[in-house]
Amino acid sequence: MLSEKIQIGLIKQLNRESESSQLYLSMASWVEKKGFEGICEFLYDHSHEERMHMLKLIRYINKRGGVVVLDNIFIRKITYKSLKELFQTLFKHEKEISNEINLLLELSLQEKDYFTYNFLQWYVEEQIEEETLSKMILDKIELIGEDKGGLYLFDKDIKNFHKK
Ligand code: FEO
């Protein structure tokens, strides 16, 4: 069984993953309207991945005898001044998620819940990859600036960017 504190923490996290999925979905939609096909596919795919992160948490909570609570998620910001602002938002969001995973790890040690500690290792690896990838993309976007030719090539290249 999960302790009450762990259950609350895991539910909060699964709702954050759901929020991530919605955030990337809204970004993908915004980018699609701007005509960046590669970036839009990347963001739609990422939205799907975040949904998988949410599902993994739901199934773990259920397996451990907990009760899942789903929040209503509202993404208010759906426009961006530029791709740079969008990827800054994305990178900041991933850093916040990493911090939250770290706090959850600390909590699982305090509660002596080593099953949850072990389960969360997958998220630790995932966050290292996601932070690295989003920082790499942001660096490239900053380097390109407003150069239309550079953005065109970046939009073609992004399909080759993978998590390591
Ligand atoms: Fe599931 Fe991008 O954090």
Give the residue ranges of DSSP H helices in 64-147: 83-110, 114-144
Binding site membership of 20 for ligand 1 (Cβ less than 6 Å): yes
Which CATH number fits the domain that encloses residue 67?
1.20.1260.10
pLDDT by residue (tens digit) across 53-107? 999 999 999 999 999 999 988 777 779 999 999 999 999 999 999 999 999 999 9
Kindly state if the Cβ of 155 falls inside 6 Å of ligand 1: no
Instruction: Report the domain count for the chain.
Output: 1
Band of pLDDT at residue 7, cut at 50, 70 and 90: very high
- Can you tell me which atom of ligand 1 is nearest the CA of 49? 1
19: closest CA among 87, 62, 77?
77
Give the amino acid at 14.
Answer: L
Cβ-based neighbours of 152, under 8 Å, separated by 6 or more: none
DSSP H or E segment with residue 56 = helix 37-63
pLDDT of residue 159: 80
Tens-place pLDDT, residues 133-164: 999 999 999 999 989 999 999 999 998 876 66
pLDDT at 75: 77
Query: How is residue 70 annotated by DSSP?
Result: P
**Which residue segment(s) compose the domain that 56 sits in?**
4-160
The Cα 61–Cα 132 span in angstroms is 28
